[in-house]
Structure 1
Amino acid sequence: MVRYSDFGAQGNGKVDDMDAIVAAHAFANEHGFPVRADEGAAYYIGGKDRTAIIQTNTDFGTASFVIDDTDVENRNAPVFLVSSSLESFKPEGLTSLKRNQEKIDISLPGPCLMTVTDANTRRYIRFGPNQNDGSPQTDIFIVNQDGHVDQNAPIIWDFNQITDMTALPIDEARLTITGGRFTTIANQAESKYTYYSRGIAIRRSNVLVDGLQHHITGEGDHGAPYGGFINISNCADVTVQNTMLTGHKAYRTIGSAGVPVSMGSYDISVNRALNISFVNCRQTNDINDSRYWGIMGSNYCKNLVYDHCIFSRFDAHMGVANAAIRNSTLGHMGINAIGSGVFTVENTTVRGRTFINLRDDYGSTWRGEFIIRNCVFVPANGRPASASLIGGSNSGQHDFGYTCYMPERITIENLHINDSNHPDQYQGPAIFSNFNREKTDASYVEKFPYVISKEVILRNVTTSSGQDLRLSENPYMFKEVQVKAD
């Protein structure tokens, strides 16, 4: 067992203990020893450009850590980096891939996490105030030593050309991080997109984080945003449980389209990661307080799960393949996603503007199906609102780099809509919001056709207002949808 005090940490909350923390983990990694914080210690971590590398089980216990971001040398350097001792490598010989391909012609030393890129194809060409010219097509999936692709996280793109490919071996043994009470003294930087990454970065597969707390102090009237105190990337099979996190105050800046925007600021960030679960987690501040940004953001992920969580938001920016929210409560920013596969929401209360919002900045696309079961929807957290279950918009005039779909099938079973506080002339909740106000007859032409849902299956949908569920404010757009009510 290695303790921080073994390497000179004072734990008095005043002296910067970062050098001792870095040294303790370096020694532990070299010898394969676990690390344990001293009981009840208070570790002050200043703004030095230092990162402690965690490669062995670590118990932060009852210790507290104060991370002072008021004067930081390198905002991109995490305080802790959970990494594998296994080295990534570049496999040879693979030139193309197909969507849903089950086996690739490659041999590996063991199960590996594969990241594949085609730099000549652009996807996720963003629309709106934060517009951009997209990102290179990328995919991430697990392959065993014989080349079989894990079909629980399938390949989602055709790759006619592979410009880069990396294989990262997956650790067989689980690494566990437990306990710890962390407090960030927020940065006072200018309010622009200079993200701070001063937290725990997880870059190793097969990790459990259990019983951690993160608090934030010192937020004023300006500041730079955060990229996730828990930042999970380029890995698989990570579970965060029994953990308390904090939403960050939202500050405004000028976006890429030259208009003011609120900057996303996250306590959870998940990118290029598979099989990531948050279990029995919640946040310290009010999930319905709009001064604080939604707590989570993700890109390029597969199999994201919330189970028994109380959070202000679930969010998938640049696509998630398969997601599930169970036994949870979602606050003012609700559920936001684009992606593919099956999205399941069960035994959950949603208090956002819509039950599920398909992000319009990425084309409001979901290539797959939605399953909503045993849930409660409180539109706009009970403020007067014309409720709709599936929100989003797509004019058919913007090229997002892919064909945009609505869920082919939507199954809604045992849903109660608490719409008792509604505006005058309320006509009842809609299945679909008005995705395109211009498309009201056959004269409207989409340059990039939007593929509409085929069927909606309804079983026991009730409303507090007593009003029936209707199709949409724009019935023409959804006229081909078959609604089946049991």
Structure 2
Amino acid sequence: MKYLLLLVFLLSYAAIQAQTEAPLENVVITYTKKKTQVHPSETPQLQVNVSTKDVPKFKARGFVRYSDFGARGDGKTDDIDAIAATHAFANQHNLLVKADQGATYYIGGKERTTIIQTNTDFGTAAFIIDDTTVKNHQAAVFMVSSRLQASKLEGVTSLKRNQEKINVSLPTNSLITVSNSNVRRYIRFGLNQNNGSPQTDIFVVDKNGKVDMAAPIIWDFDQITEITALPIDEKKLTISGGRFSTIANQAESKYTYYHRNLTIKRSNVVVDGLEHRVTGEGEHGAPYNGFINVNNCAYVTVQNCILTGHKTYNTIGAAGKPVSMGTYDLIVNRALNVSFVNCSQTNDIKDSKYWGIFGSNYSKNLLYDQCTLSRFDAHMGVANATIRNSTLGHMGINAIGSGVLTVENCTIYGRNLVNLRSDYGSTWQGEFVIRNCVFVPASGSPVSASLIGGANSGQHDFGYTCYMPERISIENLKIDDSNHPANYQGPAIFANFNPEKTDDSYREQFPLVKTREVMLINVTTTSGKPLRVSDNAFLFKDVKVLNN
């Protein structure tokens, strides 16, 4: 019986060994009597041996540590291979990963992405990510991925805006991503002008194809060139702790975005208590695409985290003129129901030397709650966003998209209460609801304030009809305009969106659909000056302003 059990044990590990190499991990694990050891390699494939004596010990303990796979944690030795190996083993055996308390893990520029598929406790350990010499700046350091595989959907050839059901049968709730490469949207205007992007949408359906109408389909798709379904993980994955420090790259200042980050590509994830700082920023450097980068997933919460704004560098934009480069510590792309709760940043949110910390594209139902951050940004079309109990810094709230933008119990230090981004047509197809807020224009600098910022000449085709919010409701707003310029006439509801249109002789080739109604309840100014409609009253002559 003793030898039979041993034979079964060895055969089981032979079976595991035959399946060791995961496409994302690129880690091959063997199981022998030899000691547990990672074979350092500069090649993409990592070779790891795990002692057959250690396996039952690790499984009985319920977790593995980086030191189990040879990590030194001395802040000098490059530990990325040991870290990647630890997670690869944990992924195979569904074990928790714990960093060693008090350790400092150095991660150099080697191309090695660690795949996380199980709960991870970084604890109080420190991680130094050295970007001064990086082999592949597009490779993430950590990637949270699903074991579930996306699949192409057959038979779905068109979709309609707000369609409630698609004709599919799926094994579980799934995230649907759809595109039509024959239609271009978000044709950008200005210094970073471009030819737009393929029409894209993302939404959730249940196994019977019923669409979650909290995040509806926002485009008509007369054609579909690609549509995929990614099953949504039902079990929550938690990543906690960790004190991360990036030694900033010294690359040329151009749009070669660094992805040396924690990328989340799995649904139903919580990141709790992580800290990220940046050191070594010099006179030049390439921008960053978010230290926490959430994409192609749903139901992600980032809470109790401390982030850092990156220094702003300039380059030459697509229009051939100097432009400031966006560089981020938080990014959300093609994701639904993403929340940031009780998050803050290490540097002053009103310091304009640092770019606004957050950007997003093609996402729905974004939330800030109890956050103190320099910016909220809906870049290429966000549907529905809520900002509450928060403080926004020098870059304030920037948005284009649709649905409802709700801002409540907040203090905003941007140039506008909400800025509708002019590079995408200053469009928001929906409404704004603003309650119980304080607005300090331009962080208290002497400016002539306007609540809703934006610009649109009506001469550029953005790939869609541009709408200002149909209805804007503002209740209990205090405007601190005590430090105002000479000849100040009081704050305006709307900025001058088109200074050239001052009478009916101006013709818009691509007309901007103006706001229909503004409801004002208890809006006060520190200066005592009354609220005006706009410097360009003609442009907004048809807007109904209701004071209650």
TM range (shorter): over 0.9
Query: What is the CA–CA distance in structure 1 between the aligned matches of 2:115 and 2:304, rounded to whole Å?
Result: 23
Instruction: Letter of the 1:460 partner, please give it.
Output: N
Counterpart mapping for 1:144-163 below 5 A: 144-163=206-225
The alignment status of 1:36 with 2:98, answered yes or no, reads yes
Q: CA deviation at 1:165?
A: 0.6
How far 1:50 moved relative to its partner? 0.0
Q: 2:257 aligns with which of 195, 207, 210?
A: 195
Amino acid at match of 2:440: V
Report the Cα offset of residue 264 of structure 1.
0.4
Matched, 1:234 2:296: yes
- SS of the residue corresponding to residue 26 of structure 1 reads helix
Matched, 1:474 2:532: no
Secondary structure at the aligned position of 2:105 is classed as: strand
- Cα shift at 1:91: 1.1
Separation of aligned partners in 2, 1:38 and 1:346: 41
Residue of structure 2 equivalent to 1:165 = 227
Check if 1:430 corresponds to 2:514.
Answer: no
Residue 25 (str. 1) matches residue 87 (str. 2): yes
2-structure distance, mates of 1:161, 1:265? 34
Which of 199, 211, 222 does residue 273 from structure 2 map onto? 211
CA distance in 2, matches of 1:59, 1:208: 12
For 1:140, the equivalent position in structure 2 comes to 202
1:420 and 2:482 equivalent?
yes
Partner-residue secondary structure (3-state), 2:460: coil
Aligned letter for 1:363? G
Q: Using the TM superposition, give the Cα deviation of residue 263 of structure 1 relative to its aligned residue in structure 2, in angstroms.
A: 0.4
Higher relative contact order (CA 8 A, sep 6+): 1
1:363 corresponding residue in structure 2: 425
Q: Which amino acid aligns with 1:118?
A: N
SS in 1 for 2:92: helix
SS in 2 for 1:24: helix
Of 28, 53, 76, the residue aligned with 1:14 is 76
Output aligned runs, 1:6-405, within 5 Å: 6-405=68-467
Partner Cα distance (2:281, 2:510) in 1: 43
**Separation in structure 2 between the aligned mates of residue 461 and residue 302 of structure 1, nearest angstrom:** 30
TM-score under structure 1 length normalisation:
1.00
> Partners in 1 of 2:250 and 2:530 — Cα distance?
50
User: Alpha carbon RMSD of aligned pairs, Å?
Assistant: 0.4
Rounded to whole Å, the distance in 2 between the matches of 1:140 and 1:247 is: 28
In structure 1, what residue type is equivalent to 2:541?
Answer: K
Per the TM alignment, residue 85 of structure 1 is displaced from its structure 2 partner at its CA by: 0.3
SS of aligned partner of 2:406? strand
Provide the aligned length of Structure 1 versus Structure 2. 486
- Tell me the distance in 2 between the aligned counterparts of 1:248 and 1:255: 19
**Deviation string for 1:176-196 (max 9, x for gaps)?**
000000000000000000000
Distance 1:442 1:319 in 2: 31
Distance 1:464 1:83 in 2: 50
Tell me how far apart the structure 2 counterparts of residues 423 and 404 of structure 1 sit (CA, whole Å): 32
Which structure 1 residue ranges, 5 or more long, are not aligned? none
1:51 to partner: Cα distance: 0.5
Question: What percentage of residue pairs aligned between the two structures are identical?
Answer: 73
SS in structure 2 at match of 1:188:
coil
Query: For the residues of structure 2 that align with 1:320 and 1:87, how far apart are their CA atoms?
Result: 26
CA distance in 2, matches of 1:405, 1:90: 34
Q: How much has 1:316 moved relative to structure 2? A: 1.0
Aligned with residue 454 of structure 1, among 516, 521, 533? 516
> Is the partner of 1:184 in helix, strand or coil?
strand
Instruction: Name the residue aligned to 2:47.
Output: none
Counterpart for residue 472 of structure 2: 410
One-letter amino acid matched to 1:412: I
Unpaired runs of 5+ in structure 2? 1-62
4+ residue runs over 2 A deviation: none
* C-alpha displacement of 1:358: 0.2
